[in-house]
Structure 1
Amino acid sequence: MKDSWWNDFKAWVADAEWLSKFAEIASWACTVLSFVAILFPPAGFIVMALTIATIAINALQAATGNGSWLNVVMDLGALKLARVGTKAAKAIAGLQKKSRSTAAGLAKERAAGAASDANKGARQAAARGERKRGGTSGNQRKKDRARRLRMEQENRKAGNNAAEEVKDAELPEITQKERLGALGDKTLGSQLKDIRKLRDGNPGSAELAENTQKAEHHLRVNQRAWAASAALDASDKALESATDTYPGAKDAVTSPTPGTSQW
């Protein structure tokens, strides 16, 4: 009689108590950090990493008859919710950058337009001078052309400087009330305030108004996803300790362990 490699592997998994211990600790850490992620979304990356590790261990144990497939299903549900929350936070960061770019373009147009209006008369005079013939010398026409080109360059520079000022501005400081509105996440609160500030500074921009609406929607999605993920983990652990029916249901979806040897 000879043991197969699969039977040896299943026996190794069954004896590897450290796997179960690690999965248990990681699972509890995910539960706690899911609540933390509601207030501090960057913690979501840690939750996702621990959830993936827990899924791998539970799937290994379930496939070898040492664990329940229901654990895997619950972990996959928590992972899905974690990804939704993380993607929502990333979407807000992306919208903030997009709003900065749009507002910079608008600032460039305004500044360049204002500079152009300020030297419009001088530019028109220079343009007429460079077109004159007859009594006007070639040198004078060249000077008028150079003067017009210099003013046009100054207008473009004014626009570019205004755009860079918007792009390079620091994120706005937020009040305690605004931080609470972002559920404790300072960076997320600053990004949201910046998006709203850029919208308010450009009331005629439909794009900036739409970005603000999308950012506020993603904030709600982020909060709900982490709340649901935390609730799913917490309910799983509560049911395991409070009832006999739930653990029994998990046992019902545990793969049977085949014989340990073959001829």
Structure 2
Amino acid sequence: MALLVPPRSRTGGIVALVAHPDDESLIAGGTLALAARAGVPTGILTLTRGELGPIGDPRLATPATLGEVRERELAEAATHLGAGWARCLHHPDGELPWVDVETAAAEVAAVLAPLAPAALLTFAPDGLYWHPDHIAAREIALRAAALAGPGGPCVYEACWEPETACALVAAAAARGLPASLWGLEPEAFGSPTDGLPLTRVDVSEVIDRKLRALRAHRTQIDRGHLFATLPDDLGTAHLGVEQWHVAGGPGPDVLGALLGEAVRV
């Protein structure tokens, strides 16, 4: 499947800027799918191809081909989410903390400039589970938005409550379902959001699309993974709301304007 490429006209839509293919579906899949269903232009930009990630099934890729395979997986996930385009930049996986922020942000800004997106979705300061690449992606997103000037996108950071992954893993295990999260402890995910102004997006109506998009990243989802067979009802119960914080303060309610009644501030 060929990668979709950004259009050349201004969209005023939503773009997810993340570190690796699959990040977009995990932190923003519901918001992207909901936006696409509402007719809002959406896109996905990853800073790496994720070429150092795991290979859940050796029949799918080798270490030499993983980056190329994950690009194709991203294109398929984007289709499930209804995204208008998806693109991988080729910064080295695992090395984003050492990438020059100004150079990387300028590259991102150049991709986004013709589109003039209204919102840029990325990680919170915790990187979801303190992944250094995720934390660096946030820094690059903030700088890219700043380079766009006063008319640039509003940057939204994905916020998971500390209990989210724990409760989801426990619920899956109680049904005898796979419950692994890339070998990470569920306690590693999320951080306290007390006092943060949050925009909550109800994505329950598109949870099936979010889960299909996650499963499109087949190299990353082995048979024992939580998302391999997670049913929609558990997805809705534990991932049916995506929480966002506007970087630097409450800011404009861009998502509210784009998504309407699905958004609760």
Same fold (TM over 0.5): no
Q: Which structure has more RCO (C-alpha within 8 Å, separation ≥ 6)?
A: 1
Q: Counting helix residues as a fraction of each chain, which structure ranks higher? A: 1
What TM-score results when the alignment is normalised by the length of structure 1? 0.21
Structure with greater Cα Rg: 1
Q: Counting strand residues as a fraction of each chain, which structure ranks higher? A: 2
